[in-house]
Amino acid sequence: MGERLDVESVEGAVAGREPLDIVRWAVSRSGEGLALACSFGAEDVVLVDMLARVTDTPRVFALDTGRLHEATYETMERVRERYGIAMEVYFPDREAVERLEREQGFFSFRQSLEARRACCQIRKVEPLRRALAGLDAWVTGLRREQSVTRAALAVVERDEAHGGILKLNPLADWSSDQVWEYIHRHGVPYNRLHDEGYPSIGCEPCTRAIRPGEHPRAGRWWWESPEHKECGLHVGPDGTVRVLGQARGSGTGAEAAHG
């Protein structure tokens, strides 16, 4: 956003605005210093559509972990074609993945929480760090109601884990119904897995469909307890995840690109 803005002044600028207006305001302030982290889930395709409405040069980046669903790649391609956006794709470090798979095998993330976080660190967290380098601000599709780890989410946060850049969550207040109403009203391309029982979509081996009545995040790392269900993209500098009641702004690592 050009000069470094404090969170309070940005909050004042976007207070009471609808998500599209927040996106428009952010683009007008930061131009190419702002990018959307896109995992091609429902919230993210809504934000791609909004970005495309307010600028001819939207910046959208994605983390290709190497373990995504085929349906996610199909969605990426449909979004790319629909909006004509050159996606900024980040792969994990090749040597780190080679070492991980040689030493730990191909499903190390099932062995323990630490092993799972180590995989996310290589495939998501480190690439995200590269994606955010040089940005003034980033946009995510996080919503408050998604999980206990996001219940204290603010629309504007300072991302201390990534050099203190701003992190904007324009859909923080939105419900799932609002997201889907937008998708259908505007004919936004979306991941077909959402129609197959996947409200939340990440890497293929770490995501399953949920059963009726289950929490929307129940299909992510289903072998772990709810308070651990973040991949490290939205974990604070101290390594903790945001939990219900936690002071706002204190847990703002990152996530959304496959969070």
Residues tagged active-site: 231
Question: Pick from 24, 59, 123, 217: which binds ligand SF4 (CB under 6 A)?
Answer: 123
CB-CB contact of 141 with 155 (8 Å):
no
By CB under 6 A, residue 120 contacts ligand SF4: yes
By CB under 6 A, residue 67 contacts ligand SF4: yes
State the DSSP code for 200: S
The first and second tokens of residue 231, run together, are 């991949």
The first and second tokens of residue 14, run together, are 């976007």
CB of 97 to ligand SF4, least distance (A): 10
**What's the number of CA atoms in the CB half-sphere (13 Å) around residue 255?**
27
How many amino acids of this chain bind ligand SF4 (CB under 6 A)? 13
By CB under 6 A, residue 105 contacts ligand SF4: no
Going by C-alpha positions, the residue among 74, 79, 85 that lies closest to residue 193 is 74
The piece of 75-83, 159-167, 187-195, 203-211 that touches ligand SF4 (CB under 6 A) is 203-211
By CB under 6 A, residue 84 contacts ligand SF4: no
By CB under 6 A, residue 193 contacts ligand SF4: no
By CB under 6 A, residue 124 contacts ligand SF4: yes
The piece of 43-51, 74-82, 112-120, 235-243 that touches ligand SF4 (CB under 6 A) is 112-120
CB of 157 to ligand SF4, least distance (A): 23
CB-CB contact of 142 with 37 (8 Å):
no
Question: Residue 203: phi, psi to the nearest 5?
Answer: -70, 150
Query: Does residue 177 sit in helix, strand or coil?
Result: helix
- Considering the complex, state which of residue 47 and residue 119 has its C-beta at the smaller distance from ligand SF4: 119
Residue type, 70: E
By CB under 6 A, residue 138 contacts ligand SF4: no
By CB under 6 A, residue 188 contacts ligand SF4: no
Sign, CA torsion 160/166/258/247: positive
By CB under 6 A, residue 164 contacts ligand SF4: no
| Alpha helices by DSSP H, 166-237 | 176-186
**Site for ligand SF4, residues 226 to 255, rule: CB under 6 A:** 231
CB-CB contact of 36 with 58 (8 Å):
yes
By CB under 6 A, residue 59 contacts ligand SF4: no
CA gap 172, 237 in Å, rounded: 21
By CB under 6 A, residue 1 contacts ligand SF4: no
CB-CB contact of 122 with 100 (8 Å):
yes
CB of 130 to ligand SF4, least distance (A): 15
Which residues of this protein are in contact with ligand SF4, per CB under 6 A?
A: 65, 67, 109, 116, 119-120, 123-124, 202-203, 205-206, 231
